[in-house]
C-alpha cells in the first residue's frame, strides 16, 4: 500500500524548511491564506516552492503546478498556449516575444496563477494568467548561491547574488544571476512520401550554448509627505551559439536536394523593463498609484546553412542576417477607496504603444561563391492599446463576497513594409467580469467560487508581419515555410469558471474546478503551395468550444513528517473550422497530472520527488494536415542538507526516466501523402546548489 501511496503524492511547499533560513517572503501558510481569502480564484507559489527543486528556469518550476503544462518550452494553462495564457510581470503584460524562461526564478518573490480574468489586468487571458511578482523586499539581505548542472549532456555553472538594505527613507536591492547553459539533441527523423514514392531517414544533431545575465535592481523612496516612489527594473542579456547537422539515408526513391547539410547560428538578445511607480494616500481610505514604464527588446542573429550532396560535395550556401526590435512605452494608474464598510472600489487605466521592427537579409550562393539570389525583407508593426476599468469588491454578507468589474480595451494595429501596402485594423472589447465566493453554511473551511468573464486574444506582432521563415532543405506540406498575416483579428471569448474548495489543518487544501469557453474568430493555419514551396500562414476562421476539469490537493501526513500534493487536469476542445476527429484547439494538451512527496526525517535532511504525466495524441490542424505528439512522463527528485541556519546544499536529479520525445506531421490529399515522424532521446540530469547567507 505504501508504494502505491508514494506514487500518488505530490510535491508541497515546505514551510518549515523556509522558516529555518530566517528570511521568507511567502511561506506555505501565507500562500494558502492568500488563495483562501481572495475573491478571485488564484494559486500562490511562494519562495518555499520556488526553491524546492532548485529550478533554473520558470517553466520547470511551473510544470508541477495545478492546471499548468509545458510543451516545447511554452507554458500553458488549460493545455492552451500560443497566446491563450497571459504572462504578467508585476501585474503588467510581459513584452510580446519574451520567453517566460528569460526571468530567472531567483529574481521572483512569488508567482500567482489566476484562473479567470479581472478588470484590473489585461483581458487577454482566455486560459488564465500567470503573474510573476519580482522581489522587492527592503530588509537587510546578503545571499549567495553557487550551482552546477548537467542537462541534456551539457554541463553549466550558475551564480546568484541577492543584496538589499535600507538607509533612512531609501531602501534598495539588487538580485543578479549569471548562468551558462545548453543542450545537445540527436533526433532521428523518418519521412515516407507517396507519389512519387520515397522513404528516407535523417540522423540529426542540434546543439545550443547560452550565456545569460539577469539583473533586477530596485529602489524605493518614502517622501516627506508619506508618498512613495518605487523604481523596479529587469535586465536580461544573453548570447546563444548553436550549430547542427543532418545526414540523410535514402532507403528508396529520390533523396532531398541536400542529403548532407550543416548550420551555425549566433544571436545576441537584450531585454530591459524599467518602471517607476508613484503612490499617494488620498484622504482617509483612498490611495492613488501611477506607473510609467519602458520596455526594450532587441535581438540580432547571424545564420549560415551549407548543403552538400550524398558524397559530401558542397552544393549550396545560405547566409541570413536578421534583427528584431520590440519597444514599448506603458502607462497605468489606479485609484482605490472604500465605499461604506462593505465595498472596495477601484478605477483606473492602462495603455501601451508598441513597435516591432524586423529586418531579414538572405544571400544564396553556389559552392563556387556565385550569387544565386538575394532576399531583403523589412517590416514594421505598431500596436496601440488603451484600457479603462472599474471594479468593486463587495462583502455582501460575512459568508458571501462578490466582485463586479468592467473593462474596455481598444487595439489599433498597423503593419507596413517595403513591399507591403500598409494594413490597419482597429477593434475594441467590453469585458464584464463577475466573481463570487460563498462560504458554505456550517462549514467554515468549505467554499464555492463562480466566475463569468469576457476575454480576448490579440494576435502577436510577429504574426502580423508577412515575413517568410524559409526551410533550407526538404520543404514540403509537413515541413513548410512560415509566414505572418497582417489581416489577423483578435479572438473573442465568453468564459465560465466554477470551483469547490476545502481547507483543513494548518496547510491542507482540496479543490475541484471546472471551466468552459466559447471562442469566435479562432486563429487557424492555412497550408498552401506557392511557386513550388509549401507555406503555412495564420488566419481567422470559425468558432471553438473549450471545457475542462481540474483537481488539486495538498496536505501533511499524520503518520510521517511529510507533505504531499496531487493535481490533475483534463481538457477538451472542438474547432468548427477543422473537420473531426481530433480537431482540438491549438494542439491542446488533453491531460496532465503531478504527484510528489516531501519527507523530513529527523535531523537536517529533507527528501522529495515529483512524478509528472502529460498526454499528447493526434491533432487535426486542417482538413489535410495533422500532427502528433507522444506522452511525456517525468520524474524529478531532490535532497537538501542544512549545515546550519545560514548554509545548505541542495542536490536534484532531473528527468530520471529520460523518455524519448516523439513528434509527427502527416499530410494526405488524394493518392499523395507525406508522413514525417521524429524521436529525440533525452538524458537524465543532475544539479547541485550551495546556498549561503552572508
- Which of 110, 100, 123, 221 shows the shortest CA–CA distance to 172? 221
Q: Mind listing the pLDDT tens digit for each residue in 273-309?
A: 999 999 999 877 889 999 999 999 999 999 999 999 9
Res. 21: pLDDT tops 50: no
pLDDT of residue 16: 33
Instruction: Share the mean pLDDT of the chain.
Output: 89
Q: What's the rounded Cα separation, in Å, for the pair 13 and 30? A: 11
Q: What is the CATH number of the domain that holds 643?
A: 2.40.170.20
Contact assessment for residue 162 and residue 152, using Cβ atoms and an 8 Å cutoff = no
Measured CA distances, 641 to 49, 113, 426, 563 (Å): 17, 30, 57, 17
Mean pLDDT across 213-226 = 92
Q: Residue 104 corresponds to which cell in the numbers above?
A: 530567472
Q: Residue 66 corresponds to which cell in the numbers above?
A: 495545478
**Top-confidence residue, 23 or 236:** 236
pLDDT of residue 96: 72
Res. 400: pLDDT tops 50: yes
Print burial letters for 470-509: b (CB count within 10 Å at least 16), e (below 16).
Answer: bebbbbbbbbbeebbbbebbbbbbebebbbebebeeebbb
Measured CA distances, 435 to 201, 402, 432, 468 (Å): 54, 6, 10, 44
Mean pLDDT across 137-165 = 89
Q: Mind listing the pLDDT tens digit for each residue in 61-85?
A: 999 999 999 887 788 999 987 789 9
pLDDT of residue 12: 31
Q: What's the rounded Cα separation, in Å, for the pair 286 and 621? A: 51
Q: Which residues pair with 667 in a beta bridge?
A: 625, 674
> Which of 32-41, 247-256, 685-694 shows the lowest per-residue confidence on average (mean pLDDT)?
32-41
Q: What's the rounded Cα separation, in Å, for the pair 594 and 451? A: 26
Q: Which residues pair with 72 in a beta bridge?
A: none
Res. 658: pLDDT tops 90: yes
Contact assessment for residue 593 and residue 569, using Cβ atoms and an 8 Å cutoff = yes
Instruction: Name every residue whose Cβ is closer than 8 Å to that of residue 431 and which is 6 or more positions away in sequence.
Output: 117, 119, 123, 406, 407, 408, 409, 453, 454, 455, 456
Contact assessment for residue 428 and residue 411, using Cβ atoms and an 8 Å cutoff = yes
Q: Residue 686 corresponds to which cell in the numbers above?
A: 543532475
> Within its chain, how far is the Cα of 689 from the centroid?
24
Q: What's the rounded Cα separation, in Å, for the pair 385 and 392? A: 24
Res. 20: pLDDT tops 50: no
Structural domains counted in the chain: 1
Contact assessment for residue 134 and residue 108, using Cβ atoms and an 8 Å cutoff = yes
Q: What's the rounded Cα separation, in Å, for the pair 437 and 405? A: 15
Contact assessment for residue 604 and residue 643, using Cβ atoms and an 8 Å cutoff = yes
Res. 493: pLDDT tops 60: yes
pLDDT of residue 104: 86
Contact assessment for residue 40 and residue 114, using Cβ atoms and an 8 Å cutoff = yes
Q: Omega before 581 cis (within 30°)?
A: yes
pLDDT of residue 69: 92
Mean pLDDT across 561-580 = 93
Give the range of the structural domain holding residue 473, as residue numbers without chain letter. Answer: 2-693
- How do beta strands 672-680 and 632-644 pair? unpaired
Q: Mind listing the pLDDT tens digit for each residue in 299-357?
A: 999 999 999 999 999 999 999 999 999 899 999 999 999 887 788 999 999 999 999 89
Q: What's the rounded Cα separation, in Å, for the pair 594 and 634? A: 9
Q: Mind listing the pLDDT tens digit for each residue in 510-563?
A: 999 999 999 999 998 899 999 889 999 999 988 999 999 999 999 999 888 999
Half-sphere exposure of 26 (CA within 13 A, CB side): 23
Q: pLDDT above 70 covers what percent of the chain?
A: 95
Contact assessment for residue 605 and residue 638, using Cβ atoms and an 8 Å cutoff = no
Q: What's the rounded Cα separation, in Å, for the pair 480 and 532? A: 11
Print burial letters for 571-609: b (CB count within 10 Å at least 16), e (below 16).
Answer: bbbbbbebeeeebbbbbbbbbbbbbbbbbbeeeeebebb
> Which of 91-100, 507-516, 616-625 shows the lowest per-residue confidence on average (mean pLDDT)?
91-100
Stated as kind and residue range, the H or E segment containing 68 is strand 68-71
Q: pLDDT above 90 covers what percent of the chain?
A: 62
Contact assessment for residue 626 and residue 663, using Cβ atoms and an 8 Å cutoff = no
Amino acid at each position: 500500500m505504501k508504494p502505491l501511496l508514494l506514487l500518488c503524492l505530490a510535491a508541497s511547499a515546505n514551510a518549515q524548511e523556509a522558516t529555518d533560513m530566517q528570511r521568507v517572503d511567502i511561506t506555505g501558510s501565507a500562500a494558502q491564506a492568500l488563495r483562501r481569502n481572495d475573491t478571485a480564484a488564484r494559486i500562490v507559489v511562494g519562495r518555499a516552492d520556488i526553491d524546492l527543486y532548485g529550478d533554473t528556469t520558470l517553466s520547470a518550476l511551473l510544470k508541477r503546478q495545478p492546471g499548468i503544462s509545458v510543451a516545447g518550452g511554452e507554458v500553458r494553462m488549460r493545455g492552451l498556449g500560443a497566446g491563450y495564457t497571459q504572462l504578467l510581470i508585476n501585474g503588467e503584460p510581459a513584452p510580446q516575444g519574451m520567453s517566460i524562461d528569460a526571468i530567472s526564478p531567483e529574481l521572483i518573490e512569488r508567482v500567482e496563477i489566476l484562473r479567470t480574468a479581472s478588470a484590473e489586468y489585461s483581458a487577454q487571458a482566455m486560459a488564465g494568467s500567470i503573474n510573476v511578482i519580482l522581489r522587492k523586499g527592503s530588509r537587510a539581505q546578503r545571499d549567495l548561491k553557487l550551482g552546477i548542472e548537467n542537462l541534456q549532456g551539457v554541463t553549466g555553472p550558475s551564480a546568484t547574488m541577492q543584496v538589499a538594505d535600507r538607509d533612512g527613507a531609501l531602501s534598495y536591492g539588487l538580485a543578479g544571476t549569471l548562468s551558462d547553459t545548453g543542450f545537445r539533441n540527436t533526433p532521428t527523423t523518418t519521412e515516407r512520401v507517396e507519389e512519387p514514392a520515397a522513404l528516407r531517414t535523417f540522423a540529426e544533431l542540434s546543439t545550443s550554448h547560452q550565456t545569460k545575465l539577469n539583473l533586477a535592481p530596485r529602489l524605493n523612496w518614502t517622501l516627506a509627505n508619506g508618498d512613495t516612489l518605487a523604481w523596479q527594473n529587469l535586465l536580461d542579456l544573453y548570447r546563444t551559439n548553436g550549430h547542427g547537422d543532418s545526414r540523410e539515408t535514402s532507403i528508396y526513391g529520390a533523396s532531398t536536394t541536400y542529403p548532407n547539410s550543416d548550420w551555425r547560428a549566433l544571436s545576441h538578445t537584450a531585454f530591459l523593463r524599467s518602471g517607476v511607480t508613484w503612490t499617494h494616500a488620498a484622504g482617509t481610505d483612498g490611495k492613488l498609484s501611477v506607473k510609467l514604464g519602458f520596455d526594450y527588446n532587441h535581438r540580432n542573429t547571424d545564420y549560415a546553412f551549407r548543403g552538400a550532396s550524398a558524397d559530401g560535395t558542397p552544393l549550396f550556401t545560405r547566409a541570413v542576417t536578421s534583427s528584431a526590435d520590440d519597444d514599448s512605452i506603458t502607462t497605468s494608474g489606479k485609484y482605490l477607496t472604500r465605499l461604506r464598510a462593505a465595498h472596495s472600489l477601484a478605477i483606473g487605466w492602462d495603455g501601451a504603444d508598441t513597435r516591432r521592427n524586423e529586418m531579414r537579409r538572405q544571400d544564396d550562393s553556389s559552392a563556387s561563391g556565385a550569387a544565386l539570389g538575394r532576399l531583403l525583407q523589412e517590416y514594421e508593426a505598431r500596436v496601440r492599446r488603451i484600457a479603462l476599468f472599474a471594479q468593486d469588491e463587495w462583502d455582501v454578507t460575512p459568508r458571501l463576497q462578490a466582485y463586479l468589474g468592467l473593462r474596455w480595451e481598444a487595439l489599433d494595429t498597423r503593419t507596413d513594409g517595403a513591399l507591403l501596402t500598409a494594413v490597419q485594423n482597429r477593434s475594441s472589447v467590453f469585458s464584464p467580469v463577475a466573481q463570487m465566493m460563498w462560504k458554505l453554511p456550517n462549514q467554515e473551511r468549505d467554499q464555492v467560487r463562480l466566475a463569468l468573464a469576457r476575454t480576448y486574444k490579440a494576435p502577436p506582432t510577429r504574426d502580423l508581419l508577412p515575413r517568410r521563415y524559409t526551410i533550407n532543405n526538404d520543404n514540403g506540406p509537413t515541413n513548410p515555410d512560415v509566414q505572418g498575416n497582417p489581416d489577423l483579428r483578435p479572438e473573442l471569448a465568453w468564459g465560465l469558471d466554477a470551483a469547490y474548495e476545502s481547507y483543513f489543518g494548518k496547510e491542507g487544501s482540496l479543490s475541484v474546478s471546472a471551466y468552459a469557453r466559447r471562442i469566435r474568430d479562432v486563429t487557424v493555419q492555412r497550408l498552401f503551395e506557392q511557386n513550388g514551396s509549401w507555406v503555412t500562414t495564420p488566419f481567422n476562421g470559425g468558432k471553438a468550444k473549450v471545457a475542462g476539469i481540474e483537481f488539486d490537493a495538498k496536505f501533511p501526513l499524520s503518520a510521517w513528517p511529510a507533505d504531499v500534493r496531487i493535481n490533475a487536469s483534463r481538457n477538451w476542445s472542438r474547432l468548427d473550422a477543422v473537420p473531426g476527429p481530433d480537431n482540438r484547439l491549438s494542439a491542446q494538451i488533453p491531460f496532465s497530472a503531478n504527484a510528489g512527496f516531501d519527507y523530513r526525517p529527523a535531523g537536517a535532511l529533507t527528501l522529495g520527488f515529483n512524478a509528472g504525466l502529460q498526454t499528447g495524441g493526434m491533432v487535426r490542424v486542417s482538413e489535410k494536415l495533422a500532427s502528433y505528439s507522444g506522452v511525456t512522463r517525468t520524474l524529478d527528485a531532490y535532497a537538501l542538507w542544512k549545515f546550519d541556519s545560514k548554509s545548505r546544499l541542495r542536490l536534484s536529479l532531473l528527468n530520471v526516466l529520460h523518455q524519448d520525445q516523439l513528434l509527427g506531421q502527416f499530410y494526405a490529399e488524394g493518392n499523395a501523402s507525406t508522413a514525417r515522424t521524429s524521436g529525440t532521446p533525452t538524458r537524465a540530469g543532475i544539479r547541485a546548489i550551495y546556498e549561503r547567507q552572508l
